[in-house]
Amino acid sequence: MNNRILVFTDLDGTLLDRRTYSFEPARPALRLLRESGIPLIICTSKTRAEVEEIREALGNTDPFVVENGGAVFVPEGYFSIALEAARTDSGYLIVEMGTSYSRILSVFSRMKERLPGRLRGFSDLTIKEVARLTGLSFEEAARAKEREYDEPFVLDDPAANLDAVREMAESAGLSISRGRFFHLTGDNDKGRAVRLVKDIYARTDGITPRTIGLGDSPNDLPLLENVDFPVLVQKPGGRYEPSIRMDNLILAPGEGPIGWSVAVRELAERLTG
């Protein structure tokens, strides 16, 4: 049999427009994936509640990854093989790779004590404040606060304070990643989650899948490093994230979902042709 093709994608600034959160320009490529039977696996810093809403809008029924690799959610019955490390909840098999949110908040509280007034996490903000900070609607901001494995935060004067924050995180066995916000997480990232999902498909099919990955920010680097065809999507102004450098990196010719659609269509047509 031919190798299955998988597409892993970030959301904000990649499949979703950074300002409007629309995926409208990506509809032609989304249609092609659906017609070709190519799974679209969302791999994001967003919460389960946020992703469920977006998957419904997309008509997506494939596995997904939340909170920077905090957990992989697989719809029950999706795979024919058993997932030994998974727990069952709300119609999903869930493989948890991250640290509990309560543990993360405990460490974050100590960080705020060390750097008073310098850090503000989503847990400190009201729904209205999250909405204003992100541009999300009130309902979307409420879903963004339903964290399970990751605390997004704003850091005043990163040049002066980031090293101290990283040191505190690492001494507690946690890590810092950076996208639109800083994120305090456990020892998880998008790359580990991508490897796990690839392995599940490989065990199901008996053959290694070919993989496409798309992102736009530093926290997408682990995702891009673990796929066969890594695609970097343009940021506003036509620029690309300068910290992401790979020999085989594909630069999507367009911002957000516009570039996403072009790159996905070209790669999917090439790999299925």
Residue 6, pLDDT score: 98
Residue 85, pLDDT score: 85
Instruction: Tell me the three-class secondary structure of 140-162, residue by residue.
Output: HHHHHCCCCCEEEEEECCHHHHH
Catalytic residue among 10, 12, 150, 189: 10
Q: Once rounded to an integer, what is the mean pLDDT over residues 75-83? A: 94
Residue 89 a catalytic site member: no
Residue 216, pLDDT score: 96
Q: Once rounded to an integer, what is the mean pLDDT over residues 31-44? A: 97
Residue 60, pLDDT score: 98
Distances (CA, A) of 135 to 17, 105, 145, 250: 11, 24, 14, 29
pLDDT value at 220 more than 70: yes
This model's pTM is above 0.85: yes
Q: In what order do the strands lie in the sheet with 182-185?
A: 119-121, 150-155, 182-185, 175-178
pLDDT value at 263 more than 60: yes
**Where do the domains of the chain lie, and which CATH numbers do they carry?**
5-98+189-272 (3.40.50.1000), 101-185 (3.30.980.20)
Residues 6+ apart with CB under 8 A from 234: 216, 240, 251, 252, 253, 254, 255, 256, 259
- pLDDT tens digits, one per residue of 202-214: 999 999 999 999 9
- pLDDT tens digits, one per residue of 92-148: 999 999 999 999 999 999 999 999 999 999 999 999 999 999 999 999 999 999 999
pLDDT-derived band at 194, boundaries 50, 70, 90 = very high
